[in-house]
Protein backbone atom coordinates (compact mmCIF):
# COMPACT_ATOMS: atom_id res chain seq x y z
CA UNK A 1 0.00 0.00 0.00
CA UNK A 2 1.12 3.52 -0.68
CA UNK A 3 0.46 6.47 1.58
CA UNK A 4 0.83 9.91 0.05
CA UNK A 5 2.69 12.37 2.19
CA UNK A 6 3.33 16.04 1.64
CA UNK A 7 7.02 16.54 2.43
CA UNK A 8 6.68 20.23 1.59
CA UNK A 9 9.82 20.01 -0.48
CA UNK A 10 10.59 20.37 -4.15
CA UNK A 11 11.51 17.26 -6.13
CA UNK A 12 15.09 18.48 -6.38
CA UNK A 13 15.36 19.07 -2.64
CA UNK A 14 13.71 15.74 -1.81
CA UNK A 15 16.09 13.94 -4.14
CA UNK A 16 19.15 15.70 -2.75
CA UNK A 17 18.31 14.92 0.86
CA UNK A 18 18.27 11.18 0.19
CA UNK A 19 18.15 9.22 3.44
CA UNK A 20 18.51 12.41 5.45
CA UNK A 21 14.97 13.39 4.60
CA UNK A 22 12.46 13.51 7.43
CA UNK A 23 10.31 10.54 6.50
CA UNK A 24 6.81 10.28 7.77
CA UNK A 25 6.33 7.26 10.04
CA UNK A 26 2.65 6.20 10.21
CA UNK A 27 1.44 5.50 13.71
CA UNK A 28 0.09 2.10 12.88
CA UNK A 29 -0.36 -0.49 10.16
CA UNK A 30 -3.38 0.53 8.06
CA UNK A 31 -4.43 -3.12 7.79
CA UNK A 32 -4.16 -4.55 11.31
CA UNK A 33 -3.24 -1.48 13.41
CA UNK A 34 -0.09 -3.04 14.78
CA UNK A 35 3.24 -1.20 14.83
CA UNK A 36 5.04 -0.47 11.55
CA UNK A 37 8.77 -1.10 11.34
CA UNK A 38 11.27 0.51 9.04
CA UNK A 39 11.94 -1.70 6.06
CA UNK A 40 14.54 0.09 4.02
CA UNK A 41 14.09 2.13 0.89
CA UNK A 42 13.64 1.64 -2.78
CA UNK A 43 14.58 4.08 -5.43
CA UNK A 44 12.69 5.30 -8.42
CA UNK A 45 12.87 8.07 -10.97
CA UNK A 46 10.76 11.18 -11.37
CA UNK A 47 10.65 13.46 -14.39
CA UNK A 48 9.90 17.01 -13.35
CA UNK A 49 8.07 19.55 -15.49
CA UNK A 50 11.37 20.98 -16.79
CA UNK A 51 12.08 17.55 -18.30
CA UNK A 52 14.83 16.65 -15.82
CA UNK A 53 15.06 13.18 -14.34
CA UNK A 54 15.61 12.82 -10.60
CA UNK A 55 16.45 9.69 -8.66
CA UNK A 56 14.56 9.58 -5.39
CA UNK A 57 14.27 7.28 -2.39
CA UNK A 58 10.97 5.94 -1.16
CA UNK A 59 10.71 4.93 2.48
CA UNK A 60 9.15 1.57 3.15
CA UNK A 61 7.69 0.10 6.35
CA UNK A 62 6.66 -3.39 7.20
CA UNK A 63 4.22 -4.75 9.69
CA UNK A 64 5.58 -7.73 11.58
CA UNK A 65 2.11 -8.83 12.51
CA UNK A 66 0.36 -9.09 9.13
CA UNK A 67 3.50 -8.96 6.98
CA UNK A 68 2.29 -6.19 4.68
CA UNK A 69 4.38 -3.28 3.53
CA UNK A 70 3.54 0.39 3.31
CA UNK A 71 5.54 2.93 1.34
CA UNK A 72 5.45 6.68 1.69
CA UNK A 73 5.03 8.36 -1.63
CA UNK A 74 5.81 12.09 -1.83
CA UNK A 75 2.79 14.10 -2.93
CA UNK A 76 4.53 15.42 -6.05
CA UNK A 77 3.92 11.99 -7.58
CA UNK A 78 0.99 9.93 -8.72
CA UNK A 79 1.43 6.26 -7.80
CA UNK A 80 2.90 4.34 -10.77
CA UNK A 81 3.58 7.38 -12.94
CA UNK A 82 7.07 8.53 -13.75
CA UNK A 83 6.33 12.12 -14.68
CA UNK A 84 5.57 14.35 -11.74
CA UNK A 85 2.01 15.22 -10.80
CA UNK A 86 2.46 18.83 -11.85
CA UNK A 87 3.85 17.76 -15.21
CA UNK A 88 0.93 15.43 -15.90
CA UNK A 89 -1.75 17.84 -14.72
CA UNK A 90 -0.18 20.55 -16.86
CA UNK A 91 -0.16 18.28 -19.94
CA UNK A 92 -3.86 17.54 -19.49
CA UNK A 93 -4.74 21.18 -18.86
CA UNK A 94 -2.80 22.51 -21.85
CA UNK A 95 -4.41 20.02 -24.17
CA UNK A 96 -7.97 20.36 -22.92
CA UNK A 97 -7.88 24.13 -22.74
CA UNK A 98 -5.94 24.99 -25.86
CA UNK A 99 -5.11 21.79 -27.71
CA UNK A 100 -1.45 22.33 -26.95
CA UNK A 101 0.75 19.24 -26.87
CA UNK A 102 3.48 19.36 -24.24
CA UNK A 103 4.48 15.79 -25.07
CA UNK A 104 3.93 13.38 -27.90
CA UNK A 105 0.27 12.72 -28.65
CA UNK A 106 0.12 9.17 -27.39
CA UNK A 107 1.30 10.15 -23.92
CA UNK A 108 -1.14 13.06 -23.67
CA UNK A 109 -4.05 10.94 -24.83
CA UNK A 110 -3.14 8.26 -22.35
CA UNK A 111 -3.21 10.82 -19.52
CA UNK A 112 -6.49 12.27 -20.67
CA UNK A 113 -8.05 8.85 -20.94
CA UNK A 114 -7.01 8.01 -17.41
CA UNK A 115 -8.24 11.34 -16.14
CA UNK A 116 -11.60 10.96 -17.85
CA UNK A 117 -11.93 7.52 -16.37
CA UNK A 118 -11.96 9.19 -12.95
CA UNK A 119 -14.50 11.90 -13.72
CA UNK A 120 -17.29 10.37 -11.60
CA UNK A 121 -14.93 10.10 -8.63
CA UNK A 122 -13.71 13.65 -9.08
CA UNK A 123 -17.21 15.05 -9.33
CA UNK A 124 -18.30 13.37 -6.13
CA UNK A 125 -15.04 14.40 -4.47
CA UNK A 126 -15.57 18.07 -5.31
CA UNK A 127 -19.17 17.86 -4.21
CA UNK A 128 -18.35 16.26 -0.84
CA UNK A 129 -15.31 18.32 -0.07
CA UNK A 130 -15.91 21.72 -1.56
CA UNK A 131 -19.64 21.74 -2.31
CA UNK A 132 -18.86 22.63 -5.89
CA UNK A 133 -21.33 21.30 -8.38
CA UNK A 134 -20.60 20.12 -11.86
CA UNK A 135 -23.70 19.15 -13.79
CA UNK A 136 -23.68 15.45 -14.58
CA UNK A 137 -25.39 16.02 -17.91
CA UNK A 138 -22.44 17.95 -19.37
CA UNK A 139 -20.53 16.28 -22.17
CA UNK A 140 -17.57 14.26 -20.91
CA UNK A 141 -15.02 16.56 -22.46
CA UNK A 142 -16.65 19.62 -20.87
CA UNK A 143 -16.66 17.94 -17.49
CA UNK A 144 -13.00 17.03 -17.88
CA UNK A 145 -12.14 20.61 -18.88
CA UNK A 146 -13.97 22.06 -15.87
CA UNK A 147 -12.35 19.61 -13.51
CA UNK A 148 -8.82 20.19 -14.74
CA UNK A 149 -9.35 23.94 -14.37
CA UNK A 150 -10.49 23.42 -10.78
CA UNK A 151 -7.52 21.20 -10.05
CA UNK A 152 -5.05 23.58 -11.67
CA UNK A 153 -6.38 26.63 -9.85
CA UNK A 154 -6.08 24.97 -6.44
CA UNK A 155 -3.02 23.18 -5.10
CA UNK A 156 -3.02 20.04 -7.23
CA UNK A 157 -0.71 18.16 -4.86
CA UNK A 158 -2.85 18.77 -1.79
CA UNK A 159 -5.93 17.91 -3.76
CA UNK A 160 -4.41 14.71 -5.03
CA UNK A 161 -3.43 13.67 -1.50
CA UNK A 162 -6.95 14.38 -0.22
CA UNK A 163 -8.39 12.41 -3.09
CA UNK A 164 -6.09 9.48 -2.37
CA UNK A 165 -6.94 9.56 1.36
CA UNK A 166 -10.62 9.60 0.48
CA UNK A 167 -10.75 6.91 -2.23
CA UNK A 168 -7.54 5.05 -1.56
CA UNK A 169 -6.46 5.59 -5.16
CA UNK A 170 -5.37 8.55 -7.24
CA UNK A 171 -7.46 10.42 -9.80
CA UNK A 172 -5.28 8.97 -12.55
CA UNK A 173 -5.93 5.39 -11.48
CA UNK A 174 -7.22 2.73 -13.81
Binding status of residue 66 toward Zn ion by CB under 5 A:
yes
Minimum Å distance from CB 63 to Zn ion?
3
Minimum Å distance from CB 31 to Zn ion?
4
Binding status of residue 36 toward Zn ion by CB under 5 A:
no
Binding status of residue 31 toward Zn ion by CB under 5 A:
yes
Minimum Å distance from CB 37 to Zn ion?
10
Minimum Å distance from CB 133 to Zn ion?
39
Antiparallel, parallel or unpaired: β 53-63 and 69-74: antiparallel
Q: Is 60 or 83 the residue whose CB approaches Zn ion more closely?
A: 60
Choose the stretch contacting Zn ion; rule: CB under 5 A; options: 6-14, 42-50, 58-66, 141-149.
Answer: 58-66
Helices 140-153 + 85-98 axis angle, to 10: 130
Residues that bind Zn ion (CB under 5 A): 29, 31-32, 34, 63, 65-66
Amino acid sequence: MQIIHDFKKSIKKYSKLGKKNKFFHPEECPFCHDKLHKNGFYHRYVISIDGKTHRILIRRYRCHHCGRTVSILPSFLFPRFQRSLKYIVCCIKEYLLQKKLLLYKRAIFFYIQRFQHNIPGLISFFRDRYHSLIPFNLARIKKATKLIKMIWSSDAQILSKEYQDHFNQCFMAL
